[in-house]
Structure 1
Amino acid sequence: MQPIDRQEFAAGVRWWQTKTKWPNDFHNGAYGVLAAQNPDGEFLDNWWPDFLRRLTRWGALRPLSGVDVTGLLVANRDGLASAWQQACAPVKDMDITGVTWEQVRAFPEVVARLKPTKSGSPVFPSKFCHFLLPRIFPVFDNAAVGGSNTYEAYFNLIKNTWVATHADLQAELVAELARLVEDDGQSRLYDGFPMATKITELALIGRRHA
């Protein structure tokens, strides 16, 4: 597996900052909000509207409507809760380096039922899962990264790329991303910020958009 290099990471940061309208804090502020709203397996009606609005803003629903996805959420609510308890609750305080796809796959597989696609696109399940456990589930965006036709493939690409990167460089990039987040001036770095998944995502963006 090809490890991260500094040039890829820097190129990914530049692309994020100049080619998108995504926040310069790399969603740091959003992660604190999402953690406070995390239903911890209780996917009830009062939690869903704000979560649905975020999924919509992140372009996760197209071409379905919010009504369509809401209906599928209701139909699969018990399955979501069961999969969360089985796959996510035991590892929710860990990050992607400490889990395998086999351990957590039950949850994204149920999530995928809320927006079924012929291609098995990873976009919707990755964003849904990332909002709940960002340190475990990496987010996938076709324009940014592309290239993965299943969420399992993308999850393992993120995990194995990070693991293949030397620990000294990992530490340097963690410090650099923390500086970039706090230089934005909006907030201090959130304690649960998903460093491994975010740094690797940026490096893969840089690898594609060098």
Structure 2
Amino acid sequence: MSIDREQFAAGVRWWQTKTSWPNDFHNSTYKVLAVQNPGGDFRDDWWAGFLRRLTAWKALRPLSQADVTRLLNENRDDLARTWHEACAPVQDMDITGVTWAQVQAFTAVVARLKPVKSESPVIPSKFCHFLLPRIFPVFDNAAVGGTCTYEAYFNVIKHAWETTPSALQAELIADLSRLIEGHGGGPPHENFPMATKITELALIGRRHP
């Protein structure tokens, strides 16, 4: 189902009034993430800072940092291999130019870092979002609600954006850009995930009208 302006506006209101999330919609964070992107070289010095961010975004629970670090070490070679096979070829694109089949191999390895029976999308979405935010949408249960696999969520975001009329897409991009600049964040960074962020806000608006 495509998104609409009313849903987007409701999602923005919820973000601004019901959370402590930044009013630049993480624009400043995306600037930092672009600089810190390891390009598939998942070394210990990179992991220390990345682990803190995953913890701050509540991606690890109920595992400890030590648990996830052990699992990272066990899967480090597979992470690097699947990054170069699946992610590197599409890293300059956004979700509209990428299919789940192209990137699924990397997300499957990331999911090993927090093995759960429910196939929770939380850690794969946040881990992958921090690396390629324009491709990987971030899943937050409090915002969007429900249970699903990350594949299902990826495809919901992709389909909702792609079925939204292009004229409305352009209007919503302009609206979100003004909101970002209005809160001192400057213009949206080139790494800012316009398509996924707008759709995420609209899905929030559906749940919190």
TM range (shorter): over 0.9
- 1:44-80 deviations in whole A, cap 9, x for unaligned? 0110011000000000000101010000000000000
Residue 148 of structure 1: how far off its partner (Å): 4.0
SS at match of 1:62: coil
Query: What corresponds to 1:171 in structure 2?
Result: 170
SS at match of 1:186: coil
Q: Distance in 2 between matches of 1:93 and 1:199?
A: 19
Equivalent positions of 1:27-176 (< 5 A) are 27-176=26-175
Runs of 4+ in structure 1 displaced over 6 angstroms?
Answer: none
Query: What corresponds to 1:20 in structure 2?
Result: 19
Q: Number of residue pairs matched?
A: 209
Amino acid at match of 1:115: K
Residue 186 of structure 1: how far off its partner (Å): 3.4
Residue 188 of structure 1: how far off its partner (Å): 3.1
Q: Distance in 1 between matches of 2:152 and 2:146?
A: 9
Residue 192 of structure 1: how far off its partner (Å): 1.7
SS at match of 2:48: helix
CA contact (8 A) 1:148 1:154 kept: no
Aligned-CA RMSD value: 0.7
SS at match of 1:83: helix
Does the C-alpha gap of structure 1 residues 162 and 141 become closer, same or farther in structure 2, counting only changes over 3 Å?
A: same
Q: Distance in 2 between matches of 1:192 and 1:43?
A: 20
Q: Distance in 2 between matches of 1:10 and 1:149?
A: 25
Q: Distance in 1 between matches of 2:70 and 2:200?
A: 32
- 1:134-164 deviations in whole A, cap 9, x for unaligned? 0000000001002241000000000000000
Amino acid at match of 2:156: L
CA contact (8 A) 1:126 1:137 kept: yes
SS at match of 2:45: coil
SS at match of 1:42: coil
Give the structure-2-normalised TM-score: 0.99
Q: Distance in 1 between matches of 2:125 and 2:14?
A: 21
Gaps of 5+ in 1: none
Give the structure-1-normalised TM-score: 0.98
Amino acid at match of 1:96: I
Query: What corresponds to 1:202 in structure 2?
Result: 201
Amino acid at match of 2:208: H
Q: Distance in 1 between matches of 2:134 and 2:188?
A: 14
CA contact (8 A) 1:174 1:195 kept: yes
Q: Distance in 2 between matches of 1:195 and 1:42?
A: 26
Gaps of 5+ in 2: none
1:10 matched to 2:26: no
